[in-house]
Amino acid sequence: MLIRRPPDIKPSEITDRDMYYSRRQFIAGAAVAGGALLWPGRNATAGAKLPNVTPHKLSTNEEQTPWEYITTYNNFYEFGSEKSDPADYSGKFKPRPWSVAVKGECAKPGVVNLEDLVSPHTLEERVYRLRCVEAWSMVIPWVGFPLADLLQRFEPTSNAKYVAFTTVMRPEEMPGQKRRVLEWPYCEGLRIDEAMHPLAIMAVGLYGEELPNQNGAPLRLVVPWKYGFKSIKSIVKIEFTRHQPPTTWNISAPDEYGFYSNVNPEVDHPRWTQAKERRIGDFLKRETLMFNGYADQVASLYSGMDLRKYY
């Protein structure tokens, strides 16, 4: 993602990207070997167990990323732009009580509590890859329910062409929102057919436990064939719209982050290649897969589209 830097830094003083990642992997590995490095304020402990979680057939059988990596190496700019910031500064965030407002082009708009959103569903464990534009990835056992099940209960009309999502705005609990790194609150969007696809879920946990604050508690989107920033966290508003909604990273850097943001190894980020990725915990890189390996399931959504133009 975009990280702004002062213009007076000399190119010779910028850490080489491969060296940077090698160092990060060494540090992360040392943390795991030692049982995770914790210090005051760090919020990396396990949460409450989620009941009645069932495995799902769409899960990948790849090796899962350890809990310690998933919960200490995050992009969540509301808590800061460093990967360690969400774990370090999310301890004051209060994910309960929680409600989500749903409005727009639907027959039954309203405000619903988290418990009412979750209780009608049998929670599913779906082991999905999460791919970031910074050329790193994880394999995470998310716990959640289909996004389509949630959206359909509000009865979107034929005018609903897109679905817009908004993150909570609490700068006193989310210190990153006090900085003008991005336009707040964070917002994202999907085309309605993407939102209704069986792979798209609303996650309420990982590894069978409630979502930690740094991973988007208490409710976040997971769209596994898109780059991770599309999977908006700590959602408080959903709106069905006629027109394509604005999205935070597209507003910030439209030449780098498009609305669709599908994982496409043939389209590089302007500042680095997307053809290869490094799985967190691994030293060597691997080839990036089209649609993050979910091409068989989702390629038909984009039939006839120029995926270099609609990136």
pLDDT digits (tens, 9 = 90+) for 145-176: 999 999 999 999 999 999 999 999 999 999 99
* 67 is a domain residue: yes
* 6 is a domain residue: no
Q: Are 147 and 221 in contact (CB under 8 A)?
A: yes
Total structural domains within the chain: 1
pLDDT at res. 118: 83
Distance CA 114, CA 50 (A): 14
Question: Tens of pLDDT along 35-66?
Answer: 333 333 456 566 799 988 999 999 999 999 99
Distance CA 65, CA 48 (A): 20
Q: Strands 136-146 and 276-279: what pairing?
A: parallel
Residue 256's domain is classified under what CATH number?
3.90.420.10
Q: How many CA atoms lie within 13 A of 302 on its CB side?
A: 24
pLDDT at res. 18: 41
For the chain, strand residue ranges (E) read 54-55, 99-104, 110-113, 124-132, 136-146, 162-167, 187-191, 201-206, 209-210, 220-222, 235-241, 276-279, 286-287
* 311 is a domain residue: no
Q: Are 214 and 74 in contact (CB under 8 A)?
A: yes
* 3 is a domain residue: no
The whole-number average pLDDT for the span 294-306 is 98
40: exposed, middle or buried (C-beta count within 10 Å: 0-12, 13-18, 19+)? exposed
Q: Is the pLDDT of residue 31 over 70?
A: no
* 309 is a domain residue: no
Which range of residues forms the domain containing residue 232?
A: 14-302
Q: Is the pLDDT of residue 26 over 70?
A: no
Q: Strands 209-210 and 201-206: what pairing?
A: antiparallel
* 5 is a domain residue: no
* 81 is a domain residue: yes
* 72 is a domain residue: yes
C-alpha 206 chain-centroid distance: 13
282: exposed, middle or buried (C-beta count within 10 Å: 0-12, 13-18, 19+)? middle
* Predicted structure pTM score: 0.86
